Structure 1
């Protein structure tokens, strides 16, 4: 049973306050602020466990932590805000007039309500003893903090153009950026806001930064690593002015036509995006189904069975859902088509198609549960890489399709979850006095909770290493070509990430960032090997260079041993 509404609010408020105390104390001395925040966190945590000495204290603590993380999400841009504000006080800048209308932010809020409708209704009318209540409440706080940040951006964001500095300044309380205009790759005007592309619930890749404040024309500026969308007055004028910083520009571009989300030609896209948001981004569709069955007084086993059937259906159509979510279109570039034909023929999957989705990230993915319902999608940035690199990426994804990795990983996760449900059922059936063994039960459930992401990482990394080596057999250059492909995409990812971080982080807070090709500190390697879906890039490339063999148990054993030795060893 969840704590009461007011108890949850108090815990969240205490978590928020803890972080705010640290911020106030650290205005002049950052280390002092961190010390004060740590002391406040220990004090509040101690009070929570003193008032709730049983394992209920851990439940209250989770909401305390959620409040702290929400405050951190909201305030992580404050340092950059102060830096930009100081720079604007001394720089000679020209304000860029903003178009602002209530309809823009209202539509964002409406879509959030629609996406979470099933979860909200379950909280209001579902069975109070259901563990889904905890999952919903705990999962919604991060979304609410992001939504609050978006509302503040809509209300407070301002744009400035510094001609002498050749910079674009964007400033809001919790979201500030400084762009060097010489970094701009393109400047375009779109006829209206494309909500189905910009809303965070409707996208899979998140390289778009949405500063739109009305529904009128949009100025889109593409920088390395991210694209910025702004609704400004005189969009064509600013397009012309900012385009002058781009070398080899050929002339003015026509405004790209964007149809309203409710246009008849967008209805199918809208429905697909909503379905993706409700089933993949959140659990609203599943909670809505359980709530309907609860009202129909269906027995628990029937609820469980029908929810499982719905999950299988979603897995079966996952390729179409993801294609809609990514606005993916079939590739037309003859170089990419030829690379895919060559690689997929060798892999024995000649009918699989390659799609492209607009994104400044360097990435690719395979989707679908089997060869007949699968596709490979590359981002538009990735298509700029050389043909030999594209072959390596396509070969890697071809293995995921051929081996049905998406399907098997989902089935494995479902089996583990069923095992967890079975453990809970056995405990409920055989232990009459739960209160008497509450503490050991808590640690059992805690262990189950901790093992789940480790299991997911273990399975996913096995598939990734297999895709590297088995995919190498589809390439003319073998493991060396695959290693070169991974190196090329890692370098591009690092460059884009470094640029993107430079736009949004304060100079004094920037850390020295090592290349993903370098061996990171042991504690970071431990996180990457034990919890991440991919092994560290340095290890993948090093292993491809040192083991030029076909996929087999020798390579699998090398990965499994490295997963532990590399996690805790300081030496190679």
Structure 2
């Protein structure tokens, strides 16, 4: 009984963490009836089973490569838990796609010049006067739309057939849909609706083989653990001893790290930054960092984000989202400087090595405990499960947070030394980046018909004069971000930059470590302890 309760508790936590699709707060038929009463025109959206089968097929592929582990591999509760978590996540994405495929309705309301996309899982309204860009593709690009082929927020995929596809770009969201007749394109702004069609090859076309392999490898080995599970199953089938098995996993992990830059470039459809003013910023920052040959790429996303990748300096790169490139140049320079420090200090490699070492140590401890107390653990499976789940859900994220956060703080302060404006420019860059990301998230949320209005005073991160007013967050938010997130809270990062001199020192590291714990305590506890 206790084991059943433990399993239910674990999967309840998974339910809370994984974005499972939920039904509309307002019934679909009520929304459709209201639109019809307003005189909105329904645009026919023909469905093709082939489009749904492609999503089912790709999902089955990435689930299927891990399934052999369950009947061939040596059962490990930790690996099984990771796999089941991944299966649940993939099933949630597939369920949403199938529900949308079956129930999607597309309306155009001439009175407010807006598109309405209504389905059983969500209902959205897109004002066409807020559309900033429109493209027409000859077919949906499956390698761009499938939800496992993304690192950042996925695109809003409403494609239900293999015909011509609109790509509508709004602030905070990219929308893909394919109505049956493009005669309805006359509802779009005339200067934009005359765009030349972009030819999209099928995913199996020879010109897409490299993309297909790169994205498949990314989904199986980087974003998921299916490739590792398949390797474990294969080694178990060959009856390989434990030492050789660990060596094989380590070798496979090393290969993944060594080719990570190439895989990411293919998987995220990266392109070199070609804008001359931005190229000048890149050259200036990289020269100051001593990285004159560092490559900077862009990948399409509605997120404001960037990251460094690569096993070592000679094979490293910086990737910036397409929205990040739209930031003011002073703010963009701050983002590039931050990521350049990650490359200079080899943070990507260091973090990977330390995380791998941590996993190996924990695994060794678990194996030792199991060997010493195998009988007790077998007779108390519920307690064993809860302990293992705690290690996965809390201990590993906490270690990763402590490991990565000080690198982020160091990148903020050393990155400031590469900027003309020093700490102030870096602080302003973080403020602008965070403000734009929050506004993009809020804008994307506003497209939902059942979205509730939020208190402007709580949501607005900037004062009326445009000055930065990020406030210290509540206790639980501070605790979760300091102890479980890869980045310290934004209010603390900016405060740290604005209250210290430009540069990096061990004193700033000690300051982060002190505040990491002090800010994680409720205020009444700090008052009681006089700290």
TM-score normalised according to structure 1 size: 0.84
How far residue 518 of structure 1 moved from its aligned partner, in angstroms, is 3.0
Residue 406 of structure 2: which of 423, 441, 462 is its match?
Answer: 462
Which residue in 2 is equivalent to 1:448?
391
1:59 matched to 2:2: no
Residue 387, structure 1, aligned to residue 335, structure 2 = no
User: Out of 491, 500, 509, which is 1:556 matched to?
Assistant: 509
Distance 1:432 1:196 in 2: 46
C-alpha deviation, 1:251, in angstroms: 6.9
1:146 equivalent in alignment to 2:88: no
Q: Which of 257, 262, 265 in structure 1 is aligned with 2:199?
A: 257
Match in the other structure for 2:72 = 125
2:145 to 195, 198, 201: 198
Note closer, same or farther for the CA distance 1:445–1:264 as it changes in structure 2 (3 Å cut). Answer: closer
Decide whether the 8 Å contact of 1:168 with 1:179 is kept in 2: yes
Distance 2:290 2:362 in 1: 38
Any conservation in 2 of the 1:80–1:176 contact (CA below 8 Å)? no
Q: Which residue of 2 aligns with 1:532?
A: 485
Tell me the CA shift for residue 505 of structure 1.
Answer: 5.7
Structure 2 CA distance, aligned partners of 1:390 and 1:446?
Answer: 40
Shift of 1:568: 2.7
Separation of aligned partners in 1, 2:193 and 2:102: 34
Offset at residue 421 of structure 1 (A): 1.1
Pairing 1:243–2:186 present: no
Q: 2 CA distance for matches of 1:445 and 1:509? A: 41
1:519 equivalenced with 2:519 (yes/no):
no
Within-5 A mapping of 1:84-99: 84-85=31-32, 87-99=34-46
Are residue 543 (structure 1) and residue 488 (structure 2) matched?
Answer: no
Contact 2:185–2:193 (CA under 8 A) maintained in structure 1: no
In 2: Cα distance, 1:138 partner to 1:207 partner: 19
Tell me how far 1:338 sits from its aligned partner.
0.9
Deviations 1:430-460 (A, max 9, x none): 2253246767756654553322111111112
Alpha-carbon offset, residue 91 of structure 1 = 2.1
- Residue in structure 1 matched with residue 464 of structure 2 by the alignment: none
Q: Report the counterpart of residue 217 of structure 1 in structure 2.
A: 164
Distance 1:500 1:451, change over 3 A: same
The aligned counterpart of 1:27 is none
> Matched residues in 2 for 1:564 and 1:479: separation?
24
> Could you tell me which residue of structure 1 aligns to residue 418 of structure 2?
474
The residue that corresponds to 2:368 in the other structure is 426
Within the alignment, does 1:314 sit opposite 2:256 as a pair?
Answer: yes
**8 A Cα contact 1:207 1:225, kept in partner:** no
Deviation at 1:506, TM superposition (A): 1.5
Is the 1:220–1:228 contact (alpha carbons within 8 Å) kept by the matching residues of 2? yes
**Once the 2 structures are TM-superposed, how far is the Cα of residue 514 of structure 1 from its aligned partner?**
2.5
Contact 1:220 1:229 in 2 (8 A): yes
Per the alignment, residue 466 of structure 2 pairs with none
Aligned-residue offset at 1:492: 1.2
Q: Write the mapping of 1:492-507 to structure 2, written as runs, cut at 5 A.
A: 492-504=436-448, 506-507=450-451
Native 8 Å contact 2:73 2:234 kept in 1: no
Separation (CA, whole Å) in 2 of partners of 1:183 and 1:350:
40
Matches within 5 A, 1:300-449: 300-431=242-373, 433-435=375-377, 445=388, 447-449=390-392
Task: Give yes or no for contact 1:187–1:243 (8 Å, CA) kept in 2.
Answer: no
Structure 1: 5+ residue runs without aligned partners? 1-51
- With 480-489 and 517-526 compared, the bigger mean Cα shift is at 517-526
CA distance in 2, matches of 1:332, 1:308: 38
Deviation at 1:139, TM superposition (A): 2.8
The two structures, once aligned, show a CA RMSD in angstroms of: 2.4
Cα distance in 2, alignment partners of residues 221 and 303 from structure 1: 48
Rounded to whole Å, the distance in 2 between the matches of 1:243 and 1:253 is 11
5+ long unaligned stretches in structure 2: 462-469, 527-531
Decide whether the 8 Å contact of 2:6 with 2:386 is kept in 1: no
Q: 1:480 to 1:130 in 2, by over 3 A?
A: closer
1:90: Cα distance to partner? 3.6
The match for 1:179 among 126, 143, 154 is: 126
The secondary structure found in structure 2 opposite 1:73 is coil
SS in 1 for 2:298: strand
Cα pair distance change 1:109/1:445, threshold 3 Å = closer
Deviations 1:35-59 (A, max 9, x none): xxxxxxxxxxxxxxxxx23x56423
Query: 1:527: Cα distance to partner?
Result: 1.5
> For the Cα contact (< 8 Å) 2:296–2:317, is it kept in 1?
yes
Deviation at 1:98, TM superposition (A): 0.9
Identify which of 211, 228, 243 aligns with 2:175: 228
Query: In the superposition, relative to structure 1, how do residues 364 and 120 fare at CA in structure 2: closer, same or farther (>3 Å)?
Result: same
**Residues 55-114 of structure 1 deviation map (CA, whole Å, 9 limit, x = unaligned):** 5642353245556777x7221544485774464254220111113100001011111122
Whole-angstrom CA distance in 1 between matches of 2:121 and 2:498:
44
Shift of 1:550: 0.7
Q: Measure, in 1, the Cα distance between the counterparts of 2:270 and 2:502.
A: 35
- Once the two structures are superposed, residues 108-164 of structure 1 have per-residue CA deviations (whole angstroms, 9 ceiling, x without a partner) of 111112222221222343334664333322331222122111011111111100010
Aligned to 1:360, the other structure's residue is in SS state: coil
Aligned partner of residue 464 in structure 1, secondary structure: helix
Residues 141 and 207 (structure 1), Cα distance of their counterparts in 2 relative to 1, 3 Å cut? closer
Answer yes or no: is the 8 Å Cα contact 1:457–1:534 preserved in 2.
yes
The answer (yes or no) to whether the contact 2:445–2:451 under 8 Å persists in 1 is no
Q: Say yes or no: does 1:269 pair with 2:222.
A: no
Q: Is 1:184–1:222's contact at 8 Å kept on the other side of the alignment?
A: yes
- Three-state SS of the structure 1 residue aligned to 2:57 is helix
Residues matched between the structures, number: 514
Give the direction of change, closer, same or farther, for the CA distance of 1:352–1:554 in structure 2 (3 Å limit): same
Task: Please name the residue that 1:565 is paired with.
Answer: 518
